[in-house]
Amino acid sequence: MSESEKTHSGLTRRGFLKVSSVAAGTALAVGGAGSLTAAADGYSAGRADNDGELIFRGVCRPNCFGYCHLNVHVREGNIVKTSRAPYASNRAYDRICQRGLSHVQRIYDPDRLRYPLRRVEGTERGAGQWERISWDEAAQTIADKINECQTRYGKQAFAYTAGSGNASACHSNTYGRLWNLLEATNIYNDADLASLYGANRMCGPLTQMWDCNELTDMINAKHIVLIGSNITDAQIHHWHFVKEAMRNGATLTVIDPTFTQVASKADDWVPIRPGTDTALYMGLSNIFFEKDAVDVAFMNERTCGPFLVHPETKKFVRASDIGGEPVFTGEINPMTGEEIVYDPYLVVQEGGLVAYDKASDPQLDAEVEYNGLKFRTSFALLKDEVDKFSPDVVSEITDIPSEKLYQIAELYMDGPVTTYVGFGGQAYMNGTHTTHAGMIMSALVGNLGKPGASYGTLWHAFFYGNGSYGAPLGANPTPQIESVDFPNILRSGMYRGEAFHVKMLYVYDANPISTAPDTNVWLNDILPRLDFMVVADSQMTDTASYADIVLPIAQWFEVEDITMTGSTLAISYNEKAIEPPYECKSDPDIVRLIADKLGLGEYFELTDEEVLADFFESDYCRSAGITFDKVKELGDMRFCPDEPHIAWSEENPFTTASGRFEFYLENPTPRAVTTKEIPPEMYDRERLPHWFPPNEAWPENEIMQKYPFVLMSVRGRFRVHSQWYNVKMLRELDPEPTVSINPADAAARRIADGDYVECFNDRGHAVAKAVLSEGVRPGTLVYPKSWQRGQHKAGSWSELLSMEFDPFTVNANFMDVACDIRMWSEGDE
Ligand SMILES: Nc1nc2c(c(=O)[nH]1)N[C@H]1C(S)=C(S)[C@@H](COP(=O)(O)OP(=O)(O)OC[C@H]3O[C@@H](n4cnc5c(=O)[nH]c(N)nc54)[C@H](O)[C@@H]3O)O[C@H]1N2
Ligand SMILES: Nc1nc2c(c(=O)[nH]1)N[C@H]1C(S)=C(S)[C@@H](COP(=O)(O)OP(=O)(O)OC[C@H]3O[C@@H](n4cnc5c(=O)[nH]c(N)nc54)[C@H](O)[C@@H]3O)O[C@H]1N2
Ligand code: SF4
Ligand SMILES: [Mo]
């Protein structure tokens, strides 16, 4: 490809105009392109077509799962506009939203960080006193601090944490390489994990982060159920798939405590009590049993349903349990290196025990006696659990009338049904069980593994590149500790029975002081225990403002990279459109500088291009014909072989030992090791789904006597987490933090629409403007998440959230929060 083709992305001005006018129709109405372009320097409206304008291919990548392709319009070295660009692999993924349209104001934000900054000596962290330093001094100081803390306290004492900022091949692997060489500790961001862990532990290792049918398959659904998902705000780029399916005749049911915007577009909105999705799923399953609607063939052939469970070991009964000899198959498990033996699971057929792969007609709901032991099928054990959740019991827990439960069950018995699941229900202490129960509910009536039949949120990562650059010392020499357990480890100075200190933290792609639970623990417990904190970001975020050194990064369109995640099942090429402004530097260049000062420069001699080329040196890429050159030329390449991707179809089997959906867990394994002891009975709790009350958000919990509201967040329509927080045109539409309250609750507290109110609990408080809304469930409060602290009149939302976690799941429970609300006036503290 010639240099000019490369930079112009092959788009003619006329082609571009056509594309952008379609884009304007699909994005939310946020003002015309004129107001956007006017924001950038060096552009004046009415110039001749294409006069000096270069168009580069950008990939928007804030982790909204969209990874939209954008045309990045450049005039005289300035980005003047962003507009929608096509996906080469599938035009269904062409889209842009109000954030994508407003990049210019984010890039040229007058408050964008310009130079490396150091906290002025003698001033408090967070006091806002900074001095400009050179890159050389910044890198030298950071290297010295790393050396100092590792020499004194051990390698693990230097830690890093990353979040939603930018998952790209060169970016992430270059950081990974340095962390790997330093054997640094990873403070792992514990968001969204109840869903991912809940699904993967039943579906098998090495499955995608969250696998389900591709969005383009939604058109095949007869019914769509959106649960715990605020799709018109949180996945606006997926909304058109729902709309198209509806036009094709699909019904839409929204199950959410709040009457969300998408609920207003649905055929039916089912309000549910927060933290009770598991009970709902168990209740629907109960009705399937009552109606004899179970898809016996699916349960028999694709799930562990007919497998017998040993009453003592709690594992599946295998031939060796009744005296059979395991036979070596001649194969070795590539993951574990163990010999693979043939020791088949046993099922019941005509009252006798038969190897599962020899049984033509196994009994699903069965029990047999053997040597005085009672073997029961995992299906029978599941049924016992489900039996406890009659529609009446479930109605009591979920606050959904029984008749409504029957109506929802009717939808599922009239499939195919796509259950599009957001992250609302899983963000409670009982969250893993929502996914556990939900997938089982879908499976029971065969709503998995077929066109139109799906459960989950599509969230794939490209795991198939060559990762060796990012791990020169081999996989994981570095310890991982969980962010919700971080304060416990810091306080005790112990981890896994050994002394373990963390003294220095490098933060990139993340803003935990704004987005992680319990800000006051961060401010008063975590930060004071750290000798040094470095933050690499483009803005003075909440987290950056508490750093000792702040590094100004190059933003997405100022670097060349390949993005690797999202819901479009493609890897995408992001061209470098402009040079980083001011003294901003790309993260890989920052790493190179620091590595140099650490004497590790020899490990970082590859250029960005070479790092990217190396990424494609994998067997998968070779066999799939995915090359760096092709991705560059096309803009993107699909990495998923089937299209539309149907999760758990016969071609995409479960990766469990049996190749089946193992809804009964033989070996429940905690997601992560933490400082918390796991009581033995918890292992049994995890084998099958159970509903148990959330940590706080349950009316009978003592804390709710003191703090009677459940505080739930939604995704801000104008931000992704805290990103875009300072974009002028978006702030015009959404100027300040708000909290929605039911008018009856407001009246009881004499709160009027527009009043400033304080939400508070023992952990902290946040002040926001009250919005009275009949759409908010009485007893709940709803706020758009992730403003920066300074944007609140006082406090901030994350102050109210708890770091308490379930020791099995180890997830941050963003919705499991009790609080109260009262009037607030200026001058109150
Ligand atoms: N604009 C924007 N988009 C984003 C993001 C962003 O910050 N901004 N973040 C991205 C990320 S990282 C993620 S993980 C996704 C999250 O995507 P979603 O989970 O769809 O986003 P939320 O807005 O948190 O929506 C959660 C919904 O769950 C509801 N809910 C709360 N509790 C319960 C419950 O117990 N049961 C049920 N059924 N519903 C409940 C809430 O009312 C809310 O409507 O969004 C991604 N997209
Ligand atoms: N109340 C409440 N809080 C929540 C949630 C909730 O539901 N409710 N949801 C949680 C969820 S699901 C998630 S995923 C987390 C997300 O939590 P975070 O990942 O902390 O959220 P972001 O605000 O997106 O922070 C990303 C930061 O990276 C920076 N960044 C962007 N690109 C780059 C880059 O190329 N290099 C560097 N160095 N930095 C870059 C951005 O400017 C931004 O400051 O929030 C969680 N917080
Ligand atoms: S913020 Fe998300 S939906 Fe909007 S343009 Fe960027 S990637 Fe697309
Ligand atoms: Mo997330």
The percentage of residues in the chain with a pLDDT greater than 70, rounded to a whole number, is 94
99 CA to middle of ligand 3, Å?
Answer: 6
Give the burial string for 108-127 (b: 16+ CB within 10 Å, else e): ebeebbebbbbbeeeeebee
pLDDT number for residue 208: 81
Half-sphere exposure of 406 (CA within 13 A, CB side): 7
Query: Whose alpha carbon is nearest atom 5 of ligand 3?
Result: 100
CA of 674 to the centre of ligand 1 (A): 26
Ligand nearest to the CA of 782: 1
H-helix or E-strand spanning residue 454: strand 454-456
- Reported as a single tens digit per residue, the pLDDT across 797-810 is 999 999 999 999 99
pLDDT digits (tens, 9 = 90+) for 77-110: 999 999 999 999 999 999 999 999 999 999 999 9
Could you identify the atom of ligand 1 that is nearest to the CA of residue 255? 38
Q: Which residue has the tokens 């395991």?
A: 326
Residues 539 and 548: their CA atoms lie apart, in Å, by: 15
Average pLDDT over residues 278-304: 98
More confident residue, 302 or 44: 302
> Kind and range of the H or E element at 594?
helix 587-597
pLDDT at position 328, please? 87
**Per residue in 217-256, is it b (16+ CB within 10 Å) or e — as a string?**
bbbbbbbbbbbbbbbbbbbbbbbebbeebbeeebbbbbbb
Find, among 140, 60, 132, 178, the residue nearest to 552 by Cα. 132
d(CA 412, CA 285): 10
Distance 209 CA to ligand 3 centre (A): 20
Residue 786 CA, closest ligand 1 atom number? 7
Give residue ranges with CB within 6 A of ligand 3. Answer: 60, 62, 64, 66-68, 96-97, 99-100, 236-237, 720
Please say if the pLDDT value at position 14 is more than 70. Answer: no
Average pLDDT over residues 421-425: 97
Per-residue pLDDT band for 333 (boundaries 50, 70, 90) equals: confident
- Cα–ligand 2 centroid distance for 513 (angstroms): 10
Residue of 61, 96, 229, 259 to mutate, ligand 1, most atoms within 8 A of C-beta: 229
Tallying the residues shown for the chain, one arrives at 829
Q: Tell me the best of 230, 236, 238, 262 to mutate to test the pocket of ligand 1, counting ligand atoms within 8 Å of each CB and taking the most.
A: 230
* Burial zone of 466 (CB within 10 Å; 0-12 exposed, 13-18 middle, 19+ buried): middle
* Ligand 2 atom nearest to 721, measured from its CA: 23
Query: What are the tens digits of pLDDT across the range 511-555?
Result: 999 999 999 999 999 999 999 999 999 999 999 999 999 999 999
Which pLDDT band, with edges at 50, 70 and 90, does 340 fall under? confident
Is beta strand 570-574 parallel, antiparallel or unpaired with respect to 561-563? antiparallel
Which H or E element spans position 182? helix 169-182
For ligand 1, atom 22, name the residue with the nearest CA. 714
Q: Is the pLDDT of residue 33 over 50?
A: no
Which atom of ligand 3 is least distant from the CA of 235? 3
**CA-wise closest residue to 782 among 732, 750, 747, 817:** 817
Query: Which tokens go with 555?
Result: 């933003």
Displacement of CA 803 from its chain's centroid (Å): 18
Query: What is the distance in A from the centroid of ligand 4 to the CA of 192?
Result: 5
Contact 330, 339 (CB under 8 A): no
pLDDT at 19 over 90: no
Q: Looking at the predicted structure, is the pLDDT value of residue 504 above 50?
A: yes
Q: Which atom number of ligand 2 is nearest to the Cα of residue 508?
A: 38
Q: What is the pLDDT of residue 8?
A: 33
Of the pLDDT bands very low, low, confident and very high (cuts 50, 70, 90), residue 38 is very low
Q: Which conformational region is residue 128 in: left (phi greater than 0), alpha (psi within -120 to 50 degrees), or beta?
A: left
* Mean pLDDT across the chain: 92
By three-state DSSP, how is residue 630 classified? Answer: helix
* Mean pLDDT of all residues in 365-393: 97
Q: Look at residue 30 in the predicted model and tell me its pLDDT.
A: 28
Q: Under a CB-based contact definition with an 8 Å cutoff, are residues 548 and 568 in contact? A: no
- Cβ–Cβ < 8 Å for 724, 102: yes
Mention every residue, 6+ apart, whose C-beta is less than 8 A from residue 122.
Answer: none
**Strand order, beta sheet including 53-59:** 53-59, 69-75, 78-84
Tell me the best of 26, 28, 59, 60 to mutate to test the pocket of ligand 3, counting ligand atoms within 8 Å of each CB and taking the most.
60
Largest Cα–Cα separation, the chain = 89
pLDDT at 3: 34
User: For the ranges 21-25, 63-67, 327-331, which has the lowest average pLDDT?
Assistant: 21-25
The residue among 186 and 474 whose pLDDT is bigger is 186
Contact indicator for 561, 637 with CB cutoff of 8 Å: no
DSSP alpha helix (H) spans, 356-431: 378-387, 391-398, 402-412
The owner of tokens 């379930």 is 806
Which residues line ligand 2 at a C-beta cut-off of 6 Å?
62, 163-166, 171, 191-192, 423, 427, 508-512, 515, 536-539, 541, 553, 587, 713, 720-723, 785-786, 797-798, 801, 814
- Proximal ligand: closest to the CA of 84: 3
Q: How far is the CA of 422 from the centre of ligand 4 (A)?
A: 10
Angle among Cα 808, 810, 815 to the nearest 5 degrees reads: 120
Ligand 3 closest atom vs CA 70: 5
* pLDDT at site 206: 67
Question: Residue 185 to residues 168, 476, 589: CA-CA distances in angstroms?
Answer: 21, 10, 22
d(CA 68, CA 88): 12
3-class DSSP assignment, residue 787: coil
pLDDT digits over 212-245, tens only?
Answer: 999 999 999 999 999 999 999 999 999 999 999 9
Locate 299 and state its tokens: 């349960």
Q: Compute, in angstroms, the gap from residue 540 CA to the centroid of ligand 2.
A: 14
The mean pLDDT value for 158-163 works out to 97
3-state secondary structure of 207: coil
CA atoms of 804 and 820, how far apart (whole Å)? 19
Q: Where does 312-431 have alpha helices with state H?
A: 378-387, 391-398, 402-412
Confidence label for 339 from pLDDT (cuts 50, 70 and 90): confident
Distance 103 CA to ligand 3 centre (A): 10
Backbone angles phi and psi of 262, in degrees to 5: -70, -30
Confidence of residue 29 (pLDDT cuts 50, 70, 90): very low
Pocket perturbation via mutation, ligand 1, pick of 232, 715, 725 by most ligand atoms within 8 A of CB? 715
Whole-number pLDDT of residue 50: 63
Q: Which ligand is nearest to the CA of 67?
A: 3
